[in-house]
Structure 1
Amino acid sequence: MRRPHVDWMTRADDAILEFLLNEGNRQLIATPGVIEVNIGYTLSTVNQRLRKLKSAGLVEYHDEERGMYELTKKGSAYLAGEIKAEDLTLEENLS
């Protein structure tokens, strides 16, 4: 199934989500720095996009104190094209 087009999302968002999915293997848990090194976007971009993705429920903290993120079930469903664009909204303060 095809992924929905969402106006607020960027290519970096897909790269982050795909990295955390780690297709064919166990899903990853990673810090923004580890993600940055592996996807080719700057750390500031990764941090900014993780905040948006978290606001939309696509990623969540695995360990907030250590700044470690993981993909949510909703994030996996987005990557599989199983959810609609209108189901991907941001919290008011981050839109």
Structure 2
Amino acid sequence: MRKILFSLSSLCLVILLAGCQQSNDRSCPETIEYSNLLNDSVQEELSVIMSSAGISDERQEIFFEHVDQFNSTVSTEGLAGEFVQKDVSRATYDPYT
């Protein structure tokens, strides 16, 4: 379970950092949008995004199996089922909580 939690946390960190790369025409966003992918409609929305990015169905299936496994082993209380926006300056992550 720790491997999965670490993997999901690492994925989120990479995505966040990739969005903040320095470029002449881009700046770090002031808000982020996230979800813990608790329901089918949000997972389907992400699947469409992943498909349009060229991610194979096989890799998506493996990813969503890990998401489902994680969500079934932790308390979903306080997790975001839908996509939620938050100010980057207020986004905190405590891996020990």
Q: What's the TM-score, normalizing by structure 2? A: 0.34
Which one has a larger percent helix, Structure 1 or Structure 2? Answer: 2
Point out which structure has higher relative CO (alpha carbons under 8 A, 6+ apart).
Answer: 2
Q: What's the TM-score, normalizing by structure 1? A: 0.34
Structure with higher Rg: it is 2
